[in-house]
Amino acid sequence: MSKLGVFDISVRYGKVPAVNDLTLHVEEGERVFVSGPNGAGKSSLLKAISGAVATSHGRIEMDGDLLTGRAPEAIARLGLSMVPEGREIFCSLTVEENLRVGTGLRRDADAVDVDIAEIYASFPILGERRSAAAGALSGGQQQMLAIGRALMTNPKLIMVDEPSLGLAPKIVDQVYDTLCALQEERGLTLLIVEQSSLRAARVGGRMVLMRGGRIVSEGNAADMADRDALAAAYFGQSGKQTETAT
């Protein structure tokens, strides 16, 4: 049984389809990149898995538990955490409060302080600014905070939506180094939306390529980066591509 199973799901916003009959499996401990052009439905896929948007069709399972139809807070309790696009940190809360928001679902309240200390060890800048308003952090620091915050729910699977958005390349390197180190350390499963297939290839892992709400191809990220499929997904040059990108 795979860690995460997405079976034939569709997501619609009104009449506009965002994800069409998509099926995807993620194995335990795996790192999967979701790539593709704007409007391919990558974020919608993540939102559907996390319960933030409803699916119109299909089902989603994690460790055999049905996620479809559950509230986001119930899904979080099953061990899924999300670093959303644009970070969405709580700007009016302090850094430490941001980290504590996601600890309400934990049964091991005693371990929370230890975990926070660990986050500060991984991201010293967050420790230094623990009492500062999170809105005053730089973009890169906010990204670190969003990752730290997602970790505080003690998840098994973390989904990260566009961690490189709006960040300098050097910071993006740092973000990925951290994510990979954390994955190693904690045996996490990672599902990452990443526009840049080159970046995905450098970090390494499996890559699925989306277009028009579907997966058009998948494979090893390093192999995929320079394959025709990529050009096809972005520019629609392949013969079988008839639908237009949404």
Partner 1 sequence: MTNFAQLFFDATSLGGLYAMAALGIALIFGVMNLVNFAHGEYIAFCVFALIVPSTDAVAVMFLGHAPALILIPVILALGGLVAVASEYAVFRHLRRADPVAMMIASFALGFVIRNALLAAYGGRPKAISLWPGLNMPVNIAGASVPLLQLIVIVTTLLVVTGLALLLKRTRIGLEMRAAAENFTMARLLGVRANRVITGAFALSGALAAAVALIMVTQTGVADVKMGGQIMLVAFIATVLGGLGSLPGAVAAGFLVGIVSVVLQAWLPLEARPFRDAFLYTLVIVCLLLRPQGLFVPASAKPRV
- Contacts with partner 1, residue ranges (CB under 8 A): 50-52, 71-73, 76-77, 81-82, 84, 86-93, 97, 100-102, 104-105, 133, 135-136, 138-139, 142, 149-150, 153, 165-166
Residue 94 or 196 with smaller CB distance to partner 1:
94
Whole-number minimum distance, CB 148 to partner 1, in Å? 12
Whole-number minimum distance, CB 88 to partner 1, in Å? 5
Question: What would the 3-class secondary structure string for the chain be?
Answer: CCCEEEEEEEEEECCEEEEEEEEEEECCCCEEEEECCCCCCHHHHHHHHHCCCCCCEEEEEECCEECCCCCHHHHHHCCEEEECCCCCCCCCCEHHHHHHHCCCCCCCCCHHHHHHHHHHHHCHHHHHCCCCEHHHCCHHHHHHHHHHHHHCCCCCEEEEECCCCCCCHHHHHHHHHHHHHHHHHHCCEEEEECCCHHHHHHHCCEEEEEECCEEEEEEEHHHHCCCHHHHHHHHCCCCCCCCCCC
Residue 42 or 87 with smaller CB distance to partner 1:
87
Whole-number minimum distance, CB 149 to partner 1, in Å? 7
Q: Beta partners for 219?
A: 207
Residue 140 or 236 with smaller CB distance to partner 1:
140
Residue 20 or 68 with smaller CB distance to partner 1:
68
Whole-number minimum distance, CB 198 to partner 1, in Å? 22
Whole-number minimum distance, CB 82 to partner 1, in Å? 5
Residue 10 or 143 with smaller CB distance to partner 1:
143
